[in-house]
Amino acid sequence: MRVEKTSKIDHLINQLDLNEHINSFKQFFSRESSLYIEGDQELHYKYIKSLDTIEFKAPPKVADFFTIKGHLKKHGVLNFEQIFEIVKVVRYFRYFKSRELDGIIGEWMSKFIIDEKFNEVEKYFTHDGKFEENLDEVLFGLGARIREHKANMSGSLKRLLLSSKLSSYLIDSQVHLINDEECVLVRGGFNHVLKGAVISRSSSGGFFVSPDSILKSKEQIRYINQEREAIFYRYAKEFSGKLSELQLFIAFIDKEFTKFDNYQARVLFARSSNLQIIKSKKDSKIILDAFYHPAIHNAKPIHVDFSKNILMITGVNAGGKTMLLKSILAAAFMAKYIIPMRLNENRSHVGSFKSILAIIDDPQNVKNDISTFAGRMQEFSKIFEHKEALVGVDEIELGTDSDEAAALFKVILDDLIKRGQKVVVTTHHKRLAALMADRDDVELMAAIYDEANRVPTYEFMHGIIGKSYAFETASRYGISNNIVNEAKIVYGDNSEKLSLLIERGSQLERELKQKHKKVDEKLEELKAKELDIKAQREKLFSELQEQRDALKKSYDVAINEAKTAARAGDTKAIHRAMDKANKKLPKEKKEQDIIQQEFKVGESVKYHSKKGVIVSISSNKDAILEIEGMRVRVKTSQLRHTQIVKQKPRTDVNVNVEKRAGLKCDLHGMRADEAIEVLDKFISDALINGWDEVIIYHGIGTGKLSYAVKNFLKAHPKVKKFEDAPQYAGGFGAKIVTL
């Protein structure tokens, strides 16, 4: 099943012209791995972006652990090469762990706890995987004996080459290594002066001979090597036994290294070619800004908004329609697998799809006895099996009658949309485009043709049906003007006018529907406002009626009390009743007249409880005040006129203060505590000088300085917000701060 899925992915990569890009990407993997990372894609993306902020060295090339884990499970003996594969992975994780990184990468590395048993194995291997023979006295002695015998052999061969008896038979004066045997190259007849074994023949007819004089030394070396191999096997058996006890740890680092390998490959590949890493969003909208298909060199950037269900691309032949289709599918594919690509990541949005399907190639096959149209129908029938797929169809009308095809594909596209598919189509069928143009969920794009220069521009326009410019394209690619002109006559003016009417009619219909939609939305908005106003009126009337009833009741009570007092002839009681009635009356609220006050630069004003002087006033009623040595920006509506009491004359001392605050602060190379002190002073100076926005460069490095800067900015009361700088201004290594 996995092989079949891999085959489909490889076929899609080939269809979308991504082979070279994907092959370049795979070069950054430490071990062979699938493009898809199993598990939570949101979490994987978080780790990748976090790793992208750190400078690190690439991991070594490492073999798969499948065979190694199988041997250990059966208590087999691993060879030194297999053991060293495990050592390489552990050493790399130890390197990352030793950096004491912050954030989720640091938390991840803290999970790797290396057992002392492994250290006992690791110390016997050099950085390039050779066995440390110096740690074993016997091996060290055997190695010294081998070197001694090799020195004897070398001396014997040199003396032989300088021998006057052999000089006439020597073809050259070099020692040759043939089949791991030291030999001299001699002519025929050498057996009269040299005893030895012929190892091979040269292309010129000479003999490679291993002299008998070094035979004894060679035998000694073979015997010593056998002893060494026995010792090596003993060590391999001992190491394998220790590693068998660490099988869970080895399985853990194997899994984690595969995951890390997927992360680092994406980060280093993106850095190598200045690419961006984005992932699929949880919807089906596709917006590409400044996207470049990796197969095209010196390409024009692609800008496309594919938010609707169907995108129909029409227009000039050889104008880039197919490449636009491939670019949309390629962007969706690379976002799905979090593969770096070139685009504006801040203004692009790529949705998520369960499947990405492409009908691009001509399926005609003589061997299988199938026509172009029949093959296309077979491919379409498979699409109906999928849901929530992104489908790309190139030249949808290929292989059959245009009118019949328009009707058929119109119904097919309608059905695909009902199934939740998102479809991008290239076509020259104006009839099909016109049939689909009346749908609200259809987006039209046309390849633009430069009629003045008679060449396609490889740019696209939204909302129109494009002309194919078949005659112009034929002329551009070598068809004679006589043939093209005659074809135009056969085609006729009426056909040309009909095509223009179809294009214009579809465009007008879409414009009219858009206007109707806007009018309907405005009408609904007005109706909603009318209902809201009506509800407010009823609420106010109800509240007013309640107040009137309450006042009437209070009035009646007060009158009755006054009448009772009058009948009793008690004047004081009458006054008390009137006072009580007055207290029950609602207090009259005096509305303060809002006086529009005018202010001038240099005037003394009051802002809340603080007094200051106006330094400047902008056209949008904003003013900059100087209050107690600091400058702040406020609305003029928040100011009140005041007078600053004149102080007694005093002696003025002129002090020249250097204006130190600039728009940027560079913290590269500083320790965290030193950088925070500099940053605190910088922000204070920036506030005094009235800066609204500044930039802080802290670099990427280990992430400690970035973490300290982020925490300081979060806690500072004068910092409104901050964010990472754009890529051209430092990216993750800088912060844009709004004060």
Catalogue the long-range contacts made by 217-221 (C-beta closer than 8 Å, 24 or more residues apart).
217/149, 217/150, 217/152, 217/153, 217/156, 218/149, 218/153, 218/181, 218/182, 220/145, 220/149, 221/146, 221/149, 221/150
482 is an annotated ligand-binding site residue = no
The annotation status of 418 as a binding-site residue, yes or no, is no
Q: What span, in angstroms and rounded, lies between the C-alpha atoms of 109 and 95?
A: 10
Angstrom distance (rounded) from CA 96 to CA 105: 9
314 in a known ligand binding site: no
Q: Is 319 annotated for ligand binding?
A: yes
Question: By the 8 A CB rule, do 736 and 725 touch?
Answer: yes
One-letter-per-residue 3-state SS of 543-583 = HHHHHHHHHHHHHHHHHHHHHHHHHHCCHHHHHHHHHHHHH
Burial class of residue 451 (count of CB atoms within 10 Å of its CB; 0-12, 13-18, 19+)? exposed
Is 442 assigned to a binding site?
no
Cβ 208 vs Cβ 190: under 8 Å: no
- Whose tokens are 């009337």? That residue is 541
Can you tell me the distance from the alpha carbon of 221 to that of 16, in angstroms, rounded to the nearest whole number? Answer: 59
Pairing relation of β-strands 286-291 and 349-350? antiparallel
Non-local (6+) Cβ contacts of 734 within 8 A are 695, 696, 697, 698, 724, 725
Token pair, residue 559, equals 């009158």
Q: Please report, for residues 315, 436, 467, the alpha-carbon distance to residue 443 in angstroms, rounded to integers and kept in the order given.
A: 14, 9, 16
Measured CA to CA, the distance from residue 51 to residue 57 in angstroms comes to: 12
103 is in an annotated binding site: no
Residues 464/312, Cβ–Cβ less than 8 Å:
no
Tokens of 181: 């045997």
Torsion of CA 269, 275, 281, 286, to 10 degrees: -130
Q: What is the DSSP letter of 52?
A: T
> Which of helix, strand or coil describes residue 540?
helix
Check the annotation: does 46 bind a ligand. no
Instruction: Choose among 181, 233, 253, 191: nearest CA to 77.
Output: 233
Q: How far apart are CA 177 and CA 184, in angstroms?
A: 9
196 labelled as ligand-binding? no
Beta carbons of 463 and 350 less than 8 angstroms apart: no
530 Cβ neighbours under 8 A, 6+ residues apart: none
**DSSP strand pairing (310-315 vs 422-426):** parallel
Annotation: binding site for ATP: 315-322
Annotation: binding site: 315-322
